[in-house]
Amino acid sequence: MRPRRRFIAAGFLIVVLLVLWLIAGTSADAEESRGQSSPAPSQTSAAAVPPPTSAGSPTGPGSPPAKVPAPAERSREPEPVEPQDRQEPDVAALALLETLPIKGRAPKTGYDRDEFGQAWADVDRNGCDTRNDILARDLGSPSFRSNESCRVISGVLQDPYSGRTVEFTRGQETSGLVPVDHVVALSDAWQKGAQQLTLEQRTLLANDPLNLLATTQRMNSQKSDGDAATWLPQNKSFRCAYVSRQISVKAAYSLWVTMAEHDAMERILADCPDEAAAGSALVEEPLAQAGAPAAKAPAASAPARTPAPEAGNAAPGGAGPLPAPARNVNCSTFGTHAEAQTWFEYYHPTMGDIGGLDADGDLLACVSLP
């Protein structure tokens, strides 16, 4: 019986081993299946892994997580900058005057308004013509045509030349009552260096806001193409600023002054020696005249003054306006203020107020005449 029992025991042992083997295999297969279907709980997604603290060296378990660099801030668009004066703000007009050449007036031969380009050209490319730019700048409470940002239709002018307040209304018969004046008249500029500038440079001169002021028709007509030796604003409180502006324009465009003009400017600025010069927003540095050196001739090289004609004689060359200069000329000699002013502006630089036409020294002759 014992061999049979041994056989049965051996068979039972074999069955147990087979069952244990099958159970172990099934558990391994189940674990492998779970490993393929989902990541192990200890794994972390790549997006959640803190970046290494240094290249090739991952963050240690006890180290604080490295900061993720903030995205670079976008550079802001540069804000538009208003045109600034090109001259240094501490340059006095009186000092700038001494840098201008002093020469005689050149002939007016060849002068024409067309030599200064299109009238009121849009040289600053802002979409508005120059006249409307100046009206918008100089008029108080300007109003514009509907759906337009350029065309000024009304406003109030505080006239710098006369000091008077003038209403402006656009219209066929009213627009001309508020002209825009060239502070340095174009014909005056032509006779003092602008002939040597290019057409493009002369166009800038004619449309430069530095050289433009809105005024009244009466003041504009009185001034005509006079320089500081022959005409100054009736508003005496504006004379320093006016002369400073003329000097600034002539410096920017390499123009010269006559001796009489220089002396008149110097006389005005003696009362305001700290009056500052201004700069052109269109010209970064003084323009070099075509075919001429850029450097300005020193004042010491100025020609000697032309002797004034003797009283009672005709103007030099017989070209002056009638009547001939004489001490018996007075306001009753002329029919209108304009006639007296023309005569005065021609002879005053060389002969002074020989007829006594300027009673109050404001360079306006016979203002009592119509």
pLDDT at 339: 78
Residue 90 backbone class (left: φ over 0; alpha: ψ -120 to 50; beta: rest): alpha
With residues binned 3-state (H G I as helix, E B as strand, rest as coil), the percentages for the chain, rounded to 5, are 40, 10, 55
DSSP 118: S
Spell out the domain ranges in the chain: 93-284, 317-370
Rg (CA), the chain: 44
Q: With the C-alpha atoms ordered 299, 267, 349, 245, is the resulting torsion angle positive or negative?
A: positive
What are the backbone dihedrals phi and psi of residue 295, each rounded to the nearest 5 degrees, phi first?
-70, 140
Contact between 340 and 357 (Cβ < 8 Å):
yes
pLDDT at 194: 96
Q: With the C-alpha atoms ordered 341, 333, 358, 343, is the resulting torsion angle positive or negative?
A: positive
- Splitting the chain (370 residues) into consecutive groups of 10 residues, what average pLDDT does each group show? 64 73 57 43 38 40 44 37 43 95 94 94 92 96 88 96 96 93 97 96 96 96 95 97 97 96 97 94 71 36 35 41 72 80 72 74 72
**Sheet strands (E) in the chain:** 139-144, 152-158, 165-169, 180-182, 212-214
Distant-in-sequence, close-in-space partners of 240: CB < 8 Å, separation ≥ 6: 93, 268, 269, 271, 272, 275
> pTM here?
0.57
Distant-in-sequence, close-in-space partners of 356: CB < 8 Å, separation ≥ 6: 330
Cα–Cα distance measured from residue 4 to residue 76, given in angstroms and rounded to the nearest whole number: 99
Q: Which of 206, 200, 85 is nearest to 134 (CA)?
A: 206
258 alpha carbon, distance to own chain's centre? 28
